[in-house]
Amino acid sequence: MSTTKPRGPYAKGAERREQIVQTATDVFATEGFEGTALKRVAELVGVKEATLFHYFTGKQELLTAVLAERDRRGRELGSAGENGLAALVPVAERNRGAPGLTTLYAVASATANDPGHASHGYFQDRYARLVEELAADIGHKQQSGEVRSDVAAESLARLVIAAFDGLQLQWLYDKNVDMAQGLGELIGVLLAPQAS
Amino acid sequence: MSTTKPRGPYAKGAERREQIVQTATDVFATEGFEGTALKRVAELVGVKEATLFHYFTGKQELLTAVLAERDRRGRELGSAGENGLAALVPVAERNRGAPGLTTLYAVASATANDPGHASHGYFQDRYARLVEELAADIGHKQQSGEVRSDVAAESLARLVIAAFDGLQLQWLYDKNVDMAQGLGELIGVLLAPQAS
DNA sequence: GTCTATATTAAGATAGAC
DNA sequence: GTCTATCTTAATATAGAC
């Protein structure tokens, strides 16, 4: 039997993959996900449709890659290893500048509830990880007395993440809603040192 | 020119309309909205498909009617004219018992963001009304000293509604999440009398 | 009881998924 | 290209106002 040596993606392939994700991000954000045919993405990249299927099993998986990439960039906004609270407001501000992508995320996070949806696992993991990370950050601040400790860190984390998603939804319906300010107010009140 | 005298719906028609909404609610909740053909709803009601189109312009409008009816019932849970805070936790508890309907709502609230979606106006009005009502309730409690007044009533209202929607989404991905408890904690902290 | 708006359906056009 | 779901049109039956 012949031994197969997996070499991983060539540099060119990795680049092409990124290019596809970037193009798909733009076109999904401007023309919608359902409304966009993969053929359109392929044209803009300058490859045949079949090439897309080489990198992604299907349209849904490409969507997952687009969402994951957006997520990854969001993490970079939390400057220097800040995985917790400090990253939230910058991400909200970025999202304000990208309503199309934000809609894409909001729709996907709701529809991927169906266990049969290709992004179901992605969102399940994402929320679990977000809660875990934020709860850890909050837990440290509770021990140092920066944050009230009469409510469990995980509960506080879930509430902050929930408010983030919910404010985003309200903003999508009314662009006068100030997500960053709302989050700031929540953090100021909810995560203040204990009162009594 | 002949004057037409509209009589409004007959008793039979009003009843049938309700029956259709109720049946659609059940089948959309169990089999999904996209996954359900109107023919299926018609069969369960015991009428022909064309009858549904007599009452609703299209499938999307039927969905809007389903969502509005769910909303109307939610208001009844706020016992005796309570339009504000007191209704939130009971509604969360009701939703826990109806994951299908809750998914339907979550998906619709995100997808109806598109101004071309039939339910767009419905959700836009709904959020505006919810914020207004809750802010009024909170405003009264601020004046009586029951609630901190260093944050605007409308901001607090938006945050509570946002947390409601966001916790619901997290619960859809992880049924261990306790929406009612989370909301209770939020209300306890966010809407406590002012500290200093 | 008559009359007309409302309720219902039959038959088919159109559009989108596979 | 076939099939299925959405929606139209047009025609009939019924409810209820007068």
What residue spans define the domains of chain B? 11-190
B76: distance to nearest CA of chain A, Å?
A: 23
Say what the pLDDT of residue B191 is: 86
Say what the pLDDT of residue A47 is: 87
d(Cα B123, Cα B126) in Å, to the nearest integer? 5
Say what the pLDDT of residue A45 is: 85
Binned at pLDDT 50, 70 and 90, residue A170 comes out as very high
Among the ranges given (A82-91, A166-175, B118-127, B146-155), the one the predictor scored with the smallest mean pLDDT: A82-91
Burial (Cβ within 10 Å: 0-12, 13-18, ≥19) of residue B50 = exposed
Among the ranges given (A39-48, A127-136, B45-54, B141-150), the one the predictor scored with the smallest mean pLDDT: A39-48
DSSP 8-state code for residue A20: H
Query: At a CB cut-off of 8 Å and minimum separation 6, what does B60 contact?
Result: B117, B118, B119
pTM: predicted TM-score of the whole model, two decimal places: 0.92
Among the ranges given (A12-26, A72-86, A119-133, B46-60), the one the predictor scored with the smallest mean pLDDT: A72-86
Say what the pLDDT of residue B77 is: 83
Binned at pLDDT 50, 70 and 90, residue A79 comes out as low
Percent of chain A with pLDDT over 70: 89
Say what the pLDDT of residue A8 is: 59
Among the ranges given (A74-88, A105-119, B46-60, B141-155), the one the predictor scored with the smallest mean pLDDT: A74-88
Residue in chain B lying closest to A173 (CA):
B124
Say what the pLDDT of residue A9 is: 65
H-state helical runs in chain B: 11-31, 38-45, 49-55, 59-77, 88-96, 99-111, 120-143, 153-173, 179-190
Say what the pLDDT of residue B167 is: 98
- Is any atom of nucleic acid chain D found less than 7 Å from the CB of residue B125? no
Q: Outline where DSSP puts E strands in A84-195.
A: none
Say what the pLDDT of residue B82 is: 62
B156: distance to nearest CA of chain A, Å?
A: 8
Whether A5 has a pLDDT exceeding 80, the answer reads no
d(Cα B184, Cα B89) in Å, to the nearest integer? 7
Say what the pLDDT of residue A6 is: 65
- Name the B residues in 29-58 with CB < 8 Å from any A CB: 32
- Which superfamily is assigned to B11-190 in CATH? Tetracycline Repressor, domain 2 (1.10.357.10)
Between residues A36 and B67, the one the model is more confident about: B67
Tokens of B12: 């039979």
Residues 4-33 of B with CB within 7 A of strand C: 4-10, 12-14, 16
Say what the pLDDT of residue B66 is: 97
Low-confidence ranges of chain B (pLDDT < 50): 2
Say what the pLDDT of residue A157 is: 97
Whether A172 has a pLDDT exceeding 90, the answer reads yes
Query: What is the CA A4 to C1' D4 distance in angstroms?
Result: 46
Query: At a CB cut-off of 8 Å and minimum separation 6, what does A34 contact?
Result: none
Mean pLDDT of A54-68: 92
Under a CB-based contact definition with an 8 Å cutoff, are residues A147 and A141 in contact?
Answer: yes
Binned at pLDDT 50, 70 and 90, residue A48 comes out as confident
d(Cα B169, Cα A115) in Å, to the nearest integer? 14
Say what the pLDDT of residue B1 is: 53
Binned at pLDDT 50, 70 and 90, residue A194 comes out as confident
Which of B36, B101, B155, B194 to substitute to test the interface with A, most A CBs within 10 Å? B155
Say what the pLDDT of residue A36 is: 87
DSSP 8-state code for residue B97: T
Burial (Cβ within 10 Å: 0-12, 13-18, ≥19) of residue B85 = buried
Give the containing element (helix H, strand E) for A122.
helix A120-143
- Is any atom of nucleic acid chain D found less than 7 Å from the CB of residue B37? yes
Please tell me which residue lies nearest to nucleotide D5, judged from CA to C1': B37
Ramachandran angles phi, psi of A14, nearest 5°: -60, -40
Say what the pLDDT of residue A81 is: 54
- Is any atom of nucleic acid chain D found less than 7 Å from the CB of residue B124? no
Say what the pLDDT of residue B145 is: 92
Nucleotides of D under 7 A from a protein CB: 4-10, 15-18
- Is any atom of nucleic acid chain C found less than 7 Å from the CB of residue B75? no
DSSP 8-state code for residue B115: T
Mean pLDDT of A145-166: 96
Tokens of B107: 């998906």
Say what the pLDDT of residue A196 is: 56
Which residue in A113, A155, A177 is closest to B173 by CB distance? A113
Say what the pLDDT of residue A166 is: 98
Tokens of A164: 């983030």
| Distance, CA of A43 to chain centre | 26
Burial (Cβ within 10 Å: 0-12, 13-18, ≥19) of residue A94 = middle
User: For residue B15, which nucleotide's C1' is closest to its Cα?
Assistant: C7
Among the ranges given (A31-45, A104-118, B7-21), the one the predictor scored with the smallest mean pLDDT: A31-45
